Amino acid sequence: MASLHDSDTKVPSLYSRKEKSLGVLCSNFLRLYNREGVESIGLDNAANQLGVERRRIYDIVNILESVGVLTRKAKNQYTWRGFRAIPQALEELRASSNDNLKMSQYYNFGTVLNENNCRGPSNSNNSNTDTHIKPSGSHKSDTNRKEKSLGLLTQNFIKLFISSKEDLISLDTAATALLGDVHDPTAMRTKVRRLYDIANVFSSMGLLEKMRHPESGKPSFRWLGLKGEKETKSLQPLDTNTITNSSKRRAFGTDITNNVNDSDSKRYRMESLSDWSSKEVTVAMHGNMNMNMNIDIVKVEMESDENLCLPLHPQNQRNSKEFVFGPFRPVGMSGNKKSKEGQDWEKLAHTYRPQYHNKALGDVLGHYVEAWKSWYVEATEKKHVQQQQQVQ
């Protein structure tokens, strides 16, 4: 039936596409698992907790795995590595990157990047399937499925950034480069779609930043993560105070170097963090999912933030703040213990703290760190449940 829900005051269709983006999903995912004590992740659990279809979990997980945040343990099971695993993953990417990056810039990555460049752990595969991504006319059989995997695409996408001189890369450019010699418009569009997916989750993680290219004005992305180079410089090369407390919060995906014109204040998607600060979001649903869990309205309420950088948290406010969007009720919403620890993020924040040569980036980084703090604090004092019921 699903007739009108009446409910006077509001319009039935509260559907918002943005709330369902991979970016927010990723943020929620991170919020759920990026905490201490987590070491195993069950896909079913994740899907339930986050209120999304399994399919979406695969997307997130595959992308995260490609930067080392997760590793597949077994069917349905992943091992949490955390952000601290990112630097090494990037280092490996860089290594393999300039390894086969001998000829030129990113334009022939299509010829350079291909499968067998995954991670060390899983080196068990035989090494057949030589290295020519381009189906050499005859059989485009089998193995080429893996070549098209999201995970690999993600890694190659990253390689573009860390090995290219270009700082800003548009998805079109990236897609073209990643496609190699294939010049099929359909393939192109598909590739771009995937890149959008990846870019969104990376943006939510603070690894990428979306912005317009100075001249062309084309939407492009800038890599904020490490360049892969293990340059272990000290932390604050330049303006430290910039990130100390800018007190003016800005969401990640937002345009920063808008020195050009903010008259229009064109702002990009600022899901990720800003979403968490949304006071109260009610998501109704045109229930009809093929999953039979109790569907109902999930209310999302966070306290009124005002700023993302709350160092410590008044944990007096137990529960009452939920973070799961979507039609499904998070299953494991039972008792939640309020453990208070969390100044551990400080350590982590220092561990993984990329440095940039660019002032603007430094600023973003500041937000990143601040944001991270709040994630951590938030996640930490939230329910610790999930851990207990992972394995089925």
Partner DNA sequence: ACCTCCCGCCATTCG
Partner DNA sequence: CGAATGGCGGGAGGT
Closest CA to 202 of 157, 167, 164, 168: 157
Among 10, 18, 337, 359, interactor with DNA by CB under 7 A? 18
Q: Taking the complex as a whole, how short is the minimal distance between the CB of residue 296 and DNA, in angstroms? A: 17
* Binding residues with DNA: total (CB under 7 A): 42
Binding region for DNA (CB under 7 A) out of 16-24, 173-181, 238-246, 304-312: 16-24
Q: What angle do CA 238, 224, 107 make, to 5 degrees?
A: 125
Indicate the residue among 194 and 384 with the shorter CB distance to DNA.
194
Q: What's the rounded Cα separation, in Å, for the pair 220 and 127?
A: 36
For residues 165 and 105, is the Cβ–Cβ distance under 8 A? yes
* Interactions with DNA, residue window 121-150 (CB under 7 A): 142, 145-146, 148-150
Does 176 contact DNA by CB under 7 A?
no
| DSSP state letter for 78 | E
Does 269 contact DNA by CB under 7 A?
yes
Site string for DNA, 73-112 (x = CB under 7 A): -xxxx-----------------------------------
Q: What's the rounded Cα separation, in Å, for the pair 67 and 83?
A: 9
Does 22 contact DNA by CB under 7 A?
yes
Q: Which segments of the chain are extended strands (E)?
A: 40-42, 70-74, 77-80, 168-169, 208-212, 219-223, 280-283, 298-301
Among 49, 87, 93, 197, interactor with DNA by CB under 7 A? 197
Among 95, 187, 235, 391, interactor with DNA by CB under 7 A? 187
Q: Would residue 49 be called left, alpha or beta, if left means φ above 0 and alpha means ψ between -120 and 50 degrees?
A: alpha
Q: Taking the complex as a whole, how short is the minimal distance between the CB of residue 276 and DNA, in angstroms? A: 17
Parallel, antiparallel, or unpaired: how do β-strands 168-169 and 70-74 relate? unpaired
Site string for DNA, 47-66 (x = CB under 7 A): ------xxxx-x--xx----
User: Which residue, chain included where needed, has tokens 């952000």?
Assistant: 83
Sign of CA dihedral 43, 120, 38, 304: negative
Does 192 contact DNA by CB under 7 A?
yes
Question: Which residues contact DNA (rule: CB under 7 A)?
Answer: 15-18, 20-23, 43, 53-56, 58, 61-62, 74-77, 142, 145-146, 148-151, 171, 186-187, 189-190, 192-194, 196-197, 199-200, 219, 266, 269
